[in-house]
Amino acid sequence: MGRPRILILGGTSEARLLAEALAARDDCDVLLSLAGRTEKPATQPVPVRIGGFGGAAALADFLKAGGYDLLIDATHPFAERISANAAFAAETTGIAAIALRRPEWQRAAGDRWREVRSIPEAIEALGPSPRHVFLATGRQGAHHTEAAPQHHYLVRSVDPIEPPLALNNVEYILERGPFTLEGECDLLRQHDIDVIVAKNSGGAATYAKIEAARLLGIEVMMVARAPASTVKAVDTVEAVLAAIDHLFPPAMKRGV
């Protein structure tokens, strides 16, 4: 066979690192697909397409029409719909698939976590009395705060929340990680935060807020991940590269 064709569903730092590694190897043809939710995505080392596919069947058609040999789901751990679509497309086309999933954060001594299944459940769990809440889940789902307007919200996202939340007590921060422990501690103190709403995304880029909460004794409403899809998952870029070499040995990639 010739050079394998690989479609990466990206949007994470791991997807970028994987694309960089594959670009450096130069033994396969790679296309990185981004959903387009971020207004100014970072520059990528391989060709990029931006925008959704229009559903699971459309993704399957795209894979077949493009002659792809491998689908890599390196989307955010909470991008549940696209991950489900990827699993469906791989199964219906018979194309090999791998999911790259960073490990979840694990509770450590001193953490005051309350595990919840969703952002709405987290907002409800805040209770009726006014609290100072750091919503650190990004703009997806931020509107759920409107169900509990009695709280004071500090909302951080990469892009602006449009339309703005219908709340009297809300402040916005537009920032992209990684964040530092010192910076997160300062932020929490400055805004008198007594509870954080966070997704268990894993990874180092946004873990500092969890460390800061531990140091300051702040409660965390930790939104758990949904059950994993049926696609075989690995948790490092190196493991994906090893899987690619197993699927497409170097001699095959050279056409020997």
The tally of domains found in the chain comes to 2
Same domain, 77 and 21: yes
CATH of the domain at 186: 3.40.50
Share of the chain above pLDDT 90, in %: 79
Give dist(CA 37, CA 46) in Å, integer.
19
Same domain, 47 and 145: no
The token pair that represents 49 in the structure block: 């397409």
Same domain, 120 and 216: yes
DSSP 3-state assignment of 152?
strand
Same domain, 132 and 50: no
pLDDT band at 187 (very low <50, low <70, confident <90, very high): very high
Give dist(CA 154, CA 123) in Å, integer.
13
Is pLDDT above 80 for 254? no
Same domain, 12 and 75: yes
Same domain, 46 and 81: yes
82 contacts 88 by C-beta, under 8 angstroms: no
Same domain, 71 and 18: yes
Residues of the domain holding 52: 5-103+227-253
Q: What is the spatial order of strands in the sheet that 152-157 belongs to?
A: 112-116, 219-223, 195-199, 132-135, 152-157, 170-174
Same domain, 218 and 140: yes
CATH of the domain at 233: 3.40.50.720
Give dist(CA 162, CA 96) in Å, integer.
38
Task: Determine how many CB atoms are found less than 10 A away from the CB of residue 141.
Answer: 18
Same domain, 120 and 160: yes
pLDDT band at 1 (very low <50, low <70, confident <90, very high): low
Same domain, 77 and 14: yes
Indicate the burial class of 19 (C-beta count within 10 angstroms; 0-12, 13-18, 19 or more): buried
Instruction: Give the tens place of pLDDT for each residue, 24-57.
Output: 988 999 999 998 766 556 678 899 999 999 999 9
The amino acid that residue 9 corresponds to is: L
Checking phi first, is residue 192 left (phi over 0); if not, alpha (psi -120 to 50) or beta? left
Same domain, 11 and 93: yes
Same domain, 172 and 248: no
Give dist(CA 122, CA 113) in Å, integer.
11
Average pLDDT over residues 114-133: 97
